[in-house]
Structure formats: structure tokens, C-alpha cells
Amino acid sequence: MHGNEGDEYMKNAVQRFGKFLSAMVMPNIGAFIAWGLITALFIEKGWFPNAKLATMVDPMLKYILPVLIGYQGGKLVAGDRGGVIAVIAILGVICGSNEVMFMGAMAMGPFAGWVIKKFDKAVDGHIPAGFEMLVNNFSIGIIGMILAIIGYYLIGPVMTAILTVLTAGVDFLIGHSLLPLVSVFVEPAKVLFLNNAINHGIFTPIGGEQVQAAGKSIMYMIEANPGAGLGVLSAYWAFSKDKRTKDSAPGAIIIHFFGGIHEIYFPYVLMNPVVIIASIVGSACAVFYYSLFNIGLTGPASPGSIIAFLTMAPKGSTLAVLLGVVIAAVVSFLVAAPIIKMSNGKSLEEASDSVQNMKAASKGIAKKAGEIKKIVFACDAGMGSSAMGATKFRNRIKPLGLGITVINSSVDTVPADTDVVVCQEVLADRAAKSAPNAQLVTIKNFLQDEAIDGLYDKLAQGREEGAVSVKEQTEQASSGTEAKPMVMVREGIKLGQKSVSKEEAIEAAGKLLYELGYVEKEYIEAMQERERTVTTYLGMGVAIPHGTGDAKNKVKKTGIVLVQYPDGVDFGDEKAYLVFGIAGIGNEHLELLGKITQVIDSQDNLDKLKAAGNVQDVLDMLK
């Protein structure tokens, strides 16, 4: 591996690690803030001392916060089962140490999720019918107990030792007035989107330990202080030669300083990379001041706005905390001003593009073909359109021999080890929340879309360049040789229907599912609701209406029906000639969906289905 490739690999590895840590901590920031406020308000030296209410501080710090972090880590790896077993295991870690076990939770949570995920994979298909719930419950109980014991005797003491070393290092830096040197690493890390690994992996655990001992911590002030960025933006506002940059700075100041969105000033640094010196020096001066006068916050300031920063100030320290922000801003401004005056750097537009590319890379969006091992097609319920999209793409890349797993999933339960998520545009936010470490490919429909073609081209090019090892595909979403239930019958196929509205077509498919005993009547309305949320039109003249994820309990048995409209039904700007109504339990319907996808992938077969006048011909094609 060449030097540049090695550096890029290391950078991506740190970014992924930091993003995973962030994904464990960020959903629980509200709990950290609640704990910080309780600490600031009710401890003996708080704003409103209250001995009874102050008793909540230690339990929240020692139990609730680590458990929440661990639960999130387990859930990221193995869903709800991973979260539950993580909680059991983390209790052992907490009881096996006298320290605050944030780091222990960050280690044990994902590990427990990984263990139960491996167990579930090992027993998949080997559990006797009727014993599934028994095995599922006892496996978590037994394995969780074992992990809790391991946590008590091994993980807890090991993490205590690590935390002791880190704390001693911080104490050494503080004692020798060297803590400001940390800014030399933190400020460039912020611009490179590497701060999450530092902030959530080191500062938060040490901060919690210091708050428990002293009621406050300087660790929460190193990265979140908005002063340095304020100084840089103010200098651009005052001295930039580029009118666009100068005019944009005031708006950026408001977003950065009051909104806490530090990313807004990154393009301004990248316009003149030397300006990073200003934020480093400004931040270092503030850290030196805070360290010299023993100033800290009671909890994390997230986001890093002046409002959150001052909210976490201990009683009597508000002005002292504010002064540190002013110091950072003034020093940063004074250092940045001459640099900006003398510089003719790149334009703000170019710098903004650089930031977007770097931010995309930090979120995994710049994954190389050789790094992609698992692709998930995700839709609202994970039942119909995503299954067909996954099948089509799996078959498409199979000749490439990439060894990539392609499956489908609900957009809210995307597996944590997913590299690429393919979903419709309206589901992008949910997909990003469900799989924060994955590349996101947004599409309009699952069967024909330029973004899917682009993903294929990327994988094919990677193979040609030797970026991907050639091996047999080892996983299929519909593998297995056991007998499959009949999910499509003659009575479920209606041909030659007159054109109707989209809603009437969905109603007709739903009634057919209901009349054949596949679903309860309420499922029909759930199909309409699903269509209102995101279209079930797939492309190529095919639609597959089905219920929302919440309506799965209205499915009595797996079934698929087909209603053919030779003149088409309007689904938005597209026409659907084949409307497949779907009701699925588990994965029982996936094999037939896969077959349907293979059939309609051929234009000749698709035309035959659209024009078919005999039910048996349709059944023969879909066998």
C-alpha cells in the first residue's frame, strides 16, 4: 500500500470509527443534557441546591447514561435484540468497576450485539417450528448473563485501567499547563470531520469522570467552544477581498455562533488553509485560560452554540465561561486578519464544494468499490419494492463475481454492517438515521433509475481495476430448499381490467387479497396510506401496492395477487399495466417476488404479461 493510499485508508478508518461512536452517543445527547442540568441546578454548589434532587446525579451518570450508550451500540449492530442483550452485558461492566463506564459501554454494547447476531445467524433455519420464541428469549438470557460475567471480571477492570491512564494523562497536561496543545490536533480534526472519534471516544468519558469528582469538566469545552470559528468568520467579514465571501460571513456567523453548526466555517478555512492557525491559537488560548482558572462545564454543550455552552456553566461561572469564548474569538480574529488581508485563496464556492466532498467521505459516501461488501435496498416496510429491487440488482451484478451481499430491508431496520443503502428520495432521512455509516443512494424507482445504473457502473469499474476480489457470491436473500407456501393462485389473477384511478386500482388489489383470506379488511386502507407516503410504482409499467410496516399484524398469510390493466393506470407521471398486490409474513413472498423480477427484466416477457389473456399462461411464466 502506497503512502497516500495508506493515509487515506487510515483517515477513512478513523472517520468510520468516529461516526460509529457518534451514532452511539448523539441519540442520547438529550439525556446527557438532562444530567448536566440536574448537576448544575441541584448539587451542593448548584444554582438551587437540593439534597434530595441531587441524589439523581450519580445514578444517571453511573447507570442510565452508560446503559443508553450501550443499548444504542448493540442496536446498531443487531437491532432490538442487540440492544436488549447489550443492556444486560453492560450491567456487568458497570458493577465490575468503580468508575463511570462510558468507555465500557462503547466497547461492550457493540460487542454484545455482534455476539447475538452471530448466534442468530448460526441457528437460522435450525430451530424446530414452535420453539422460535423460546430459543430467542433464552438465548438472550443465557448469552447476556455470560457476557455480564465477562464484563464484570474482564471488560470493567480493563476499561477502568484504560480510563485511569487517560485521566492521568489529562491531569498531567493540566498540571503542566500543556492541555492547550490539544487544540493543535482538535481544530484540524474538526475541519477534516475527524472530531467525533476524539470528542465522543475520549473527551466524553473523561468529562463524565471529572464531573463525578469535581462537578465540572474542561473536557466539554475543548471542541465545543464556538469562539475560534467566530473569530475566523468575523475576520472574513471585515477583511475579505471577495465580495461574495464578505457578504456571506454575517449569515454564517449567526448559524455558527447561535445555531452551533460549526461546519459552516469550514469552507472559509479551506479557502486559505493557513487560517487554521488562527482557530488553533484562539482555541489554545481559551483552553489555557479555562485550565488556569479551573473552569469547566457540567455536561456536554451540544450543539456547540453559545446558548448550549452557557447553559452548561456551573453556578457563578457564566461570565468566566463567556470570557473564554471571547478570548478564543478575539485571538482567532487577530491571527486570521493579516492572513486574509494578504491572501488570494480559492473562492468560497470551490471551498464549499471541497467541504461537501469531505463531509460525504466522512459519512462513507465516498466508499470505493472494493470497500462495498453489503448493499441493502430499503423501502418503508421492507416487503415489496425493495425486495424486487434487490433481486434485480443481485442478478445484475452476479456475473461480475464481486462477492457482494444484496438484500432488502425496512428503511428503519437497515443492518449496521451495511455499506450502501438504496432507497427512494422521500425516505432518505429515515435511511440516514437508520444506517449512519452507510453510503446513501437515492432513487425514484427500484427497477429503472440512473442512480442504480451509476452504482452498477462503479462496481463494474472497480472490478476491472482490480479493486474488488473475484469470488462466488455467498449469500442470497431467498436461499433455502424447503417447500414454499403457495402465495399466488389462479383466483388471485385478474386480466383485462378497464383503466381506473390509482386509488381504485390499489383498492381492487386490496379487496382481492382480502377476499382470498390473505389479509384483514383494514389492510386495504394501509395500502392506500403506503401509497400516500411513497409511491409503490417500480418502473417498467409495474406497481406493487402493499401495506405500511405498521399493518403487518393485519396480514393473515402470505399472498400476492395480480390485476392487469392493458390500457394502464396513472401512478403519478407513469402508467402501471401490471399491479401486484402484496401481503407478506416474514420472507415467504420473496422467492416469488424474485421470480417476478426475473420475468419482467426481459422486455419480451414483460410485454407478454401486459398482454396475457389466459391466467394459466401467467402462472406458467411465474412458476
CA atoms within 13 A on the CB side of 67: 15
Smallest CA-to-CA distance from 34 within 310, 298, 259 is with: 298
Alpha carbon distance 236, 140 (integer Å): 57
Alpha carbon distance 18, 190 (integer Å): 12
Smallest CA-to-CA distance from 95 within 164, 138, 145 is with: 145
Do 420 and 365 meet the contact criterion of CB atoms below 8 Å apart?
no
Burial label, 343 (beta-carbon count in 10 A; 0-12, 13-18, 19+): middle
Q: What is the DSSP letter of 100?
A: -
Do 551 and 483 meet the contact criterion of CB atoms below 8 Å apart?
no
Beta strands in 16-106 (DSSP E): none
Do 328 and 228 meet the contact criterion of CB atoms below 8 Å apart?
yes
CA atoms within 13 A on the CB side of 343: 20
End-to-end CA distance of the chain: 50
Phi, psi dihedral angles at 344 (to 5 degrees): -125, 60
* 3 state DSSP class of 518: coil
Alpha carbon distance 524, 515 (integer Å): 11
C-alpha cell, 170 = 489529562
Give catalytic residue positions.
379, 546
Start-end of H helices in 377-518 = 385-397, 428-434, 450-464, 502-515
Give me the torsion for CA of 30, 32, 34, 37, rounded to 10°: -130
Q: With the C-alpha atoms ordered 374, 380, 384, 386, is the resulting torsion angle positive or negative? A: negative
Do 232 and 269 meet the contact criterion of CB atoms below 8 Å apart?
yes
In sequence order, which residues have a C-beta less than 8 Å from that of residue 413 and are 6 or more positions away? 79, 382, 434
Do 332 and 230 meet the contact criterion of CB atoms below 8 Å apart?
yes
Edge to edge, the sheet with strand 420-424 lists: 405-410, 374-379, 420-424, 439-443
Give how far Cα 321 sits from Cα of 173, 216, 229, 294, 464, Å: 20, 12, 16, 11, 57
Q: With the C-alpha atoms ordered 495, 498, 501, 507, is the resulting torsion angle positive or negative? A: negative
Which residue is it, cell 415489496? 384
Do 445 and 539 meet the contact criterion of CB atoms below 8 Å apart?
yes
